[in-house]
Amino acid sequence: MKPRYLRPALNLPQIFLYRDPVDFRKQAHGLAVLIEQDLGHNPFSGALYAFTNRHRNKIKCVMWEDNGFVLYYKGLAEEKFKWPKASDELVSLNGEQINWLLDGYDLSLMQGHKTLHYEALC
* 1 belongs to a structural domain: no
Domain containing 33 equals 15-109
* 8 belongs to a structural domain: no
* 120 belongs to a structural domain: no
**Nearest Cα to Cα of residue 63 among 11, 16, 3:** 16
**Maximum mean pLDDT: which of 10-14, 72-76, 102-106, 111-115:** 72-76
**Nearest Cα to Cα of residue 34 among 16, 13, 55:** 16
pLDDT in tens, 21-68: 999 999 999 999 999 999 999 999 999 999 999 999 999 999 999 999
Say which DSSP state 79 is in: -
pLDDT at 112 over 60: no
* Domains in the chain, number: 1
> Structure pTM?
0.82
Q: Which residues pair with 50 in a beta bridge?
A: 17, 61
* 66 belongs to a structural domain: yes
